[in-house]
Amino acid sequence: MKLSEIAMSTAKVDVDRLKSIFKSRYGTVPLVVKSPGRINVIGEHTDYNGGFVMPAAIDKAVYVAVSKREDNEIHLYAEDFKQSHEASLAELNISEKGWPNYILGVVDQIIKRNKAIGGFNLYIDGDVPPGAGLSSSAAVECATAFALDQVFNLGFPKMELTDIAQKAEHVFAGVSCGIMDQFASVFGKKDHAIMLDCRSMEYEYVPLNLSGYQFLLLNTKVKHSLADSAYNDRRAQCEQAVAWIKEAHPEVSTLRDVDMEMLEIYVKHRDVDVYEKCSYVVKENVRLIQAAGYLKDGNLKALGKLMFDTHDGLSKSYEVSCDELDYLVDAVRAEKSVLGARMMGGGFGGCTLNIVETEHISELVKKLSEDYDQKFGLKLEAYLVETAAGTGIVL
Ligand code: GLA
């Protein structure tokens, strides 16, 4: 496989075609908004614990085309599913089809914030591979929130758009996600990762100088059904630990305010499993601070080593990995051309993120694809990602 084939392994969206499909379906010219997927260099399962994350928006995105309607109806069409859905502003219900919820959830949030919107048509397409852990759902929410804000002149600041998108996921998709994915999608900047403090919401753009290396995503092509429920369970365990520690330290509000000693004293004797999970989170925040320093100094080797440590923590302590992810990380540990690798995102499937020397990428992907197919009977997909700007209008 050639490098260019790996980079292009998902079809790109043709915006002119998208506009003309919209016009023939709804009879009007739409506003088109693009919102990217994301990678996360390091800092996993830390966002909902008030910790640090380091995501970057990528060159795979969701596109929504939107126009106003004269009535109170919402007419949706998703190209990926070749499916339409209709709803009314007067009564928003969670849909069993799944995909409309990421849009309806945003509408619900806008209404809850006492902003007036009318009916609209919305057509959605994109090239973020679904189920790959690249936050396609956050990209849908952010694109929708941004587009509706523009079309109905709502005047939401960017930070509030991320909040609307996150709450939409909580209420209409039932996943108590943190803010990382939505934040990365809206605030992404080309050639930069974002170091975000999820407690203060302060952030800093960190230049990504990968000279001679690239980010390679390896898609396991699995998403184990446990993913959403386990995510909410982990979050509840972290909150349980905070509640125990709070009995003695009322000033503590998230695991960000907690250190290993507190976990030893207040959590370990009550529940060793909760202790183990929280120790991962506490250590991951420390790793992220180190990693940011390494990235700024251009020390990719040290950064890569921390990525492997993160993977081990996610796999053994936080227990959100799976055989397929562990296999792909283990397979590159001894490769000289790979500086670091880890599972990325919520877990139980999706992609591993690898930092690989450019000249060895093709041979590595070829070898891993064969081995992976033999072991799991699955076709590995590889994507070379470039970073990209955040949510915006496409002209
Ligand atoms: C999912 C969530 C994020 C974050 C990651 C794990 O992507 O949407 O908020 O918690 O998992 O780091």
pLDDT at residue 201 above 90? yes
Can you tell me the mean pLDDT for 220-241?
A: 91
Dist. CA 43 → ligand 1 center (Å): 10
- Any ligand 1 atom below 6 A from CB of 105: no
Can you tell me the mean pLDDT for 170-184?
A: 96
CA 175 to chain centre: 13
Can you tell me the mean pLDDT for 251-273?
A: 98
Q: Which atom of ligand 1 is nearest to the CA of 40?
A: 12
Task: For residue range 141-169, list pLDDT tens digits in order.
Answer: 999 999 999 999 999 999 999 999 999 99
| pLDDT of the residue at 182 | 98
- Any ligand 1 atom below 6 A from CB of 47: yes
Task: For residue range 18-41, list pLDDT tens digits in order.
Answer: 999 999 999 999 999 999 999 999
| Nearest CA, atom 11, ligand 1 | 346
- Detail the DSSP E strand segments found in 180-322: 192-197, 203-207, 213-223
pLDDT at residue 68 above 60? yes
pLDDT-derived band at 224, boundaries 50, 70, 90? confident
Q: Which atom of ligand 1 is nearest to the CA of 47?
A: 10
pLDDT at residue 187 above 90? yes
**Amino acid found at 357:** E
Task: For residue range 320-376, list pLDDT tens digits in order.
Answer: 999 999 999 999 999 999 999 999 999 999 999 999 999 999 999 999 999 999 999
Single out the residue of 336, 346, 370 nearest to residue 135, CA to CA. Answer: 346
Task: For residue range 282-334, list pLDDT tens digits in order.
Answer: 999 999 999 999 999 999 999 999 999 999 999 999 999 999 999 999 999 99
Handedness of CA 326, 304, 56, 166 (dihedral sign): positive
- Any ligand 1 atom below 6 A from CB of 140: no
pLDDT at residue 281 above 60? yes
Strand partners of residue 24: none
| Residue in the structure block whose two tokens are 């890569």 | 304
Can you tell me the mean pLDDT for 75-98?
A: 96
DSSP 387: B
pTM for this entry = 0.96
Select the more confidently predicted residue: 225 or 164. Answer: 164
Concatenated DSSP letters of 228-241: HHHHHHHHHHHHHH
Q: Which fold has domain 11-209+389-393?
A: Ribosomal Protein S5; domain 2 (3.30.230)
| pLDDT of the residue at 131 | 87
Strand 203-207 relative to strand 52-53: parallel, antiparallel, unpaired?
A: unpaired
Provide the 10 A C-beta neighbour count for residue 112.
11
| pLDDT of the residue at 12 | 82
The CATH code for residues 213-385 is: 3.30.70.890
Distance CA 65, CA 27 (A): 13
Can you tell me the mean pLDDT for 79-103?
A: 96
Please count the CA atoms within 13 angstroms of the CA of 85 that sit on its side-chain side.
Answer: 21
Can you tell me the mean pLDDT for 272-281?
A: 98
Distance CA 203, CA 206 (A): 10
| Nearest CA, atom 2, ligand 1 | 177
| pLDDT of the residue at 1 | 65
What are the residue boundaries of the structural domains of the chain, listed by start?
Answer: 11-209+389-393, 213-385
Single out the residue of 367, 339, 337, 372 nearest to residue 353, CA to CA. Answer: 339
Which residue out of 45, 46, 163 has the highest number of ligand 1 atoms within 8 Å of its CB and is therefore the one to mutate?
A: 45
pLDDT-derived band at 225, boundaries 50, 70, 90? confident
